[in-house]
Amino acid sequence: MLSFRIVNHGQSGNLIETPIPPLGPDQIAVEIHACALNFADLLMIKGNYQDTPPLPFTPGLECAGRVTAIGAQISEFEIGDRVAVFSGQDGLAEMGVFDASRAVHIPENVSYDAAAASLIAYGTSLLALEHLAKVQPGERLLVTGAAGGVGLTAVEIGKLLGAEVIAQARGPEKLRVAQAAGADHLIDATEDLRQRVKDLGGADVVYDAVGGDIWQAAFRATNPGGRLLPIGFAGGEVPQIPANHLLVKNLTVFGFYLGGLVKLRPELGRQTFERLMQWLAEGRITPHISHRLPLCETAQGLELIRSRAATGKVIMQPQAGLRR
């Protein structure tokens, strides 16, 4: 099978032939039809991700496809089932072998692309906003990097939870994408974020995927008693949080990492992913996919993430045009 293989950290991967891993008793083999790229893939390639596998490895944290084989202990899946997999790695390949505990069924009216695009970004936003921050109807939610793969889902999930959503992104095109996802207020990255948010009444909940100066401005615009979620640091700088300000304003900061929570609470992860598949089937969420590319263009897909040229998700399609 063809895989996008990383041999050395910091270097671009190559599409090479690799053997299909042996099938364990609690695993399933999947013919991969879609793999969604994430900023975490870039960190993993650099060797900076908290769950970077040993070299060599194949990136690809979430994928979807058709089951082609099942382990001896598997009863919940059958050959031919359509599944989405929170794989953690190995998604950027024609085939993959994954623990069945990381897979969920895809409803018949949901595409492979949509299923692959939904696990990490929507799972992160749903668990962070509902399970941790406990967003309530009518609260004001600030989402930074609101047109990115994770931020856009926070806008959508925030609206489903009844929040008034403030979306911050760079440029009118990205702001239009956030508005289409349901944002009530739009703030360009060139504007004074702190002042604009305070003019709107301040933020009750902050969902920040950028870090750096953006985090500092959002932090200062948070209302007393507010909750903050540092989801990522796409801006490159990990912010420092002044504990004295937390004390004075009675603020709560939640550390959240989807992979860690799924390991800690696997039943919560499975319930969340199953719920998202149902929401997809019902049309309650609609992943925004800006690019679909064949596996042979994975390097270009990663560059779209690195340069922030993509909005929403970038989907690689391993079965598209590989064996020409």
- What residue ranges define each of the domains in the chain, with the CATH number in brackets? 2-117+287-317 (3.90.180.10), 120-259 (3.40.50.720)
Which ranges constitute the DSSP H helices of the chain?
A: 39-46, 112-116, 119-126, 151-160, 172-180, 193-199, 212-220, 243-249, 258-264, 266-282, 298-306
| Cβ-proximal residues to 203 (8 Å cutoff; 6+ apart), any chain | 140, 141, 142, 166, 197, 218, 221, 222, 223, 226
Q: In which element (H, E) is residue 222 found?
A: strand 222-230
Orientation angle between helical segments 119-126 and 151-160, nearest 10 degrees: 50
User: 91 in helix, strand or coil?
Assistant: coil
Under 8 Å between Cβ of 112 and 65? yes
> How many angstroms separate the CA atoms of 152 and 310, rounded?
12
Q: Is the dihedral of CA 271, 276, 277, 283 positive or negative?
A: positive
Under 8 Å between Cβ of 205 and 141? yes
* Closest-CA residue to 220 (of 145, 164, 142): 142
**Structure confidence at residue 323 (pLDDT):** 46
Q: What is the largest CA-CA distance in the chain?
A: 63
The type of residue at 94 is E
Under 8 Å between Cβ of 18 and 64? no
Q: Rounded to a whole number, what is the distance in angstroms from the first to the last CA of the chain?
A: 14
**Structure confidence at residue 148 (pLDDT):** 87
**Structure confidence at residue 321 (pLDDT):** 64
In order along the chain (324 residues), what is the average pLDDT of each group of 10 residues?
Answer: 95 93 97 96 92 94 98 97 96 97 97 97 96 97 94 96 97 95 96 98 96 95 97 81 92 93 90 97 95 97 93 94 50
Q: Apex CA 98: angle with CA 298 and CA 38, to 5°? A: 35
**Structure confidence at residue 161 (pLDDT):** 96
What are the structure tokens assigned to 131, written together?
A: 């399970």
Under 8 Å between Cβ of 115 and 63? no
**Structure confidence at residue 7 (pLDDT):** 96
CA dihedral 193, 197, 202, 205 (to 10 degrees): -70
